[in-house]
Copies of this chain bind each other. A is one copy, B any other.
């Protein structure tokens, strides 16, 4: 049985959080100096275990076992959101390192090949899920030519050149070389904490359907335009958000979530009736029939609101996707390991957030493990997880990795 080194794991997590340390969190945007330093450090650690390390053309760090047997890929993304938490993707990256090291040191696990990996830009500084999408062949060179930083506008090509990655080839998945992929991540919500569980076994990663809804009314003077003749696009938006809040709970799934993240009124002046208003709305669920039901209700409410306010409505679905179901055998392996180390303190649950695992799952069997987020906080520098849970999660993932690799025809 592989027994992880708890002290070394925590020490590595803390060492990794020094790259771009910010308050008790980190600020480590993709391809920043801190991010690239952290990736080179990882490559050194991979080499030190005897793996072949390389950083590919979009910053993914791979530690490749010298064995000819198919290996188990374990990791997550190394960069952070701006001024965000120290764990997030780093947790899964350091788990991959610790498990690879533990297997290398454990006599009867030494021949079970673990391939740690650190993906780049899951966090959308340039392209959402860039590293894992590049790995599965979902990124064209033209995508790289077009992309710019979401916060400061630097072209991705310039950032890659500054990071020393110009001309470096991108590594593409060769499915036969892998048994599958495991990823650990903090939950980023409070379900585990609220139910007293310590391990979440991810059943699926929800689909996000996202919409841009625009109402066109008539821009006019807020003092001289009688209420009765107004076509107020801003009011239409407020009415729609209110109707959605009333209707969706009645038709949503038990785990569905929906959010109005942005409302913009034009021209946005206190004395002008908004002539145009835009709203960004999304919902998430792991079941296609639920997603379709919510889509239909949304379209119906948009039409009702337009009719009620005399505004013209446009609705555009800007992002759509399908839910990704995690590999059932891998889920069982994680669950068995969780039951061994934390009897009764684990639960199967969908992931409401996107993760690299949903991308890798297009080409490889994949599964995910969650550890609790204290207070459900994520993408904020106060994000944290109990040390005991950090250690437990890594041990459970190590056990699951062993079971998965041993079940292979070897």
Contacts and interface: CB of A to CB of B under 8 A. Distances in A.
Contact of A222 (B225, B257, B268, B376): B257
A219 B259 CA distance: 12
A227 B273 contact: no
A262 interface: yes
A68 interface: no
A81 to B, nearest CB: 10
A206 to B, nearest CB: 7
Q: Which of A264, A270, A352, A376 has the most CB of B within 10 A?
A: A270
Interface in A236-264: 237-239, 241-242, 245, 249, 252, 256-264
A208 B224 contact: no
Interface stretch (A55-63, A113-121, A182-190, A402-410): A182-190
A112 B327 CA distance: 95
A235 interface: yes
A271 B245 contact: no
Nearest to A275: B380
Contacts of A245: 235, 238-239
Contacts of A226: 189-191, 257
A269 interface: yes
A27 to B, nearest CB: 16
A49 interface: no
A282 interface: yes
Interface residues of A, number: 59
B263 A234 contact: yes
B234 A260 contact: yes
Copies of this chain, complex-wide, total 2
A258 B225 CA distance: 10
A210 B352 CA distance: 40
A280 B234 CA distance: 12
Interface in A176-197: 187-191, 194
A242 B238 contact: yes
A260 B206 CA distance: 35
B261 A224 contact: no
A274 interface: yes
Contact of A257 (B191, B223, B260): B223
A18 interface: no
B241 A270 contact: no
A153 to B, nearest CB: 17
A219 B342 CA distance: 31
A210 B259 contact: no
Contacts of A237: 238, 263
Given A271-B282, A379-B272, A223 B263 contact: no
A284 B223 contact: yes
A238 B263 contact: yes
A343 to B, nearest CB: 25
A206 B234 contact: no
A265 interface: yes
A234 to B, nearest CB: 5
A265 B262 contact: yes
A384 interface: no
A5 interface: no
B249 A274 contact: no
Contacts of A210: 270
A52 interface: no
A225 B270 contact: no
B261 A222 contact: yes
A299 interface: no
A85 to B, nearest CB: 11
A351 B223 CA distance: 8
A307 interface: no
A221 interface: yes
14 contacts: A191-B224, A221-B353, A221-B378, A221-B379, A222-B259, A224-B352, A224-B376, A225-B257, A234-B263, A238-B239, A238-B242, A260-B274, A261-B268, A262-B269
